[in-house]
């Protein structure tokens, strides 16, 4: 099976990325609505009906006391999904060029750099979220560990961007050759 062009592995992967892209949009929307609901309910948790005896009666108090923390956590997850959404969107555009058989399209360099920056941003965001959560009451947290895999991935993507830049340069030179 071919790697590039219509009907190739890259076109199959492009279809998978399209499905993931749609699912991520849905996930961002749902998490945003949940964060908004948690924040609004923290102001007036009594709008929740008292369902049954026991723990359900404690639900309004739980939301009143922890609503802003819950909303911040869900909002952080939504922001993380937005970062993944940006990465998948850039991958979709890269795979579009692969599907038409143009791997060294000049725009792929910027797309790969964006992916590298987003991967680094997500990792830095993970550390920042841990620092912020250290100030929130009632949040269980573990010490963040340095993820060598994540930082290695960032470096690999930036190296690939330079490889694609060089490939685009060589293609331009070849087009100028008679």
User: How does pLDDT run across 105-143, given as a tens digit for each residue?
Assistant: 889 999 999 999 999 999 999 888 888 777 766 656 677
End-to-end Cα spacing for the chain: 33
User: How does pLDDT run across 48-71, given as a tens digit for each residue?
Assistant: 554 444 554 555 555 556 666 777
Q: Report if pTM > 0.75.
A: yes
Contacts 24+ apart (CB under 8 A), 146-149: 147/123
| Residue from 139, 165, 8 nearest 74 by CA | 139
Does residue 171 carry a pLDDT above 70?
yes
Q: Is the Cβ–Cβ distance between 44 and 38 less than 8 Å?
A: no
Q: What are the φ/ψ torsions at residue 175 (nearest 5 degrees)?
A: -70, -30
Helix and strand tally (H, E) in the chain?
4, 0
Most distant CA atoms of the chain, gap in Å? 84
pLDDT for 53: 46
SS3 54: helix
User: How does pLDDT run across 140-163, given as a tens digit for each residue?
Assistant: 667 778 889 999 999 999 999 999
CB atoms within 10 A of CB 130: 14
Does residue 43 carry a pLDDT above 70?
no
Residue ranges covered by each domain of the chain: 9-176
Does residue 174 carry a pLDDT above 50?
yes
């Amino acid at each position: 099976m071919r790697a590039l062009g219509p009907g190739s592995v890259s076109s199959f992967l492009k279809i998978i990325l399209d499905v993931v892209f749609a699912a991520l949009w849905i996930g961002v929307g749902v998490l945003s609505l949940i964060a908004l609901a948690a924040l609004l309910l923290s102001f007036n948790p009594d709008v929740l009906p008292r369902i049954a005896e026991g723990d359900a009666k404690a639900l309004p108090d739980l939301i009143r006391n922890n609503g802003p923390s819950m909303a911040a956590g869900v909002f952080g997850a939504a922001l993380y999904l937005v970062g993944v959404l940006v990465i998948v969107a850039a991958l979709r555009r890269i795979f579009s060029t692969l599907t038409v058989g143009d791997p060294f399209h000049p725009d792929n360099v910027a797309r790969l750099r964006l992916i590298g920056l987003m991967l680094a941003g997500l990792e830095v965001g993970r550390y920042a979220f841990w620092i912020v959560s250290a100030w929130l009451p009632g949040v269980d947290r573990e010490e963040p560990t340095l993820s060598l895999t994540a930082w290695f991935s960032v470096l690999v993507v930036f190296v690939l961007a330079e490889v694609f830049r060089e490939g685009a340069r060589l293609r331009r030179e070849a087009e100028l050759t008679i």
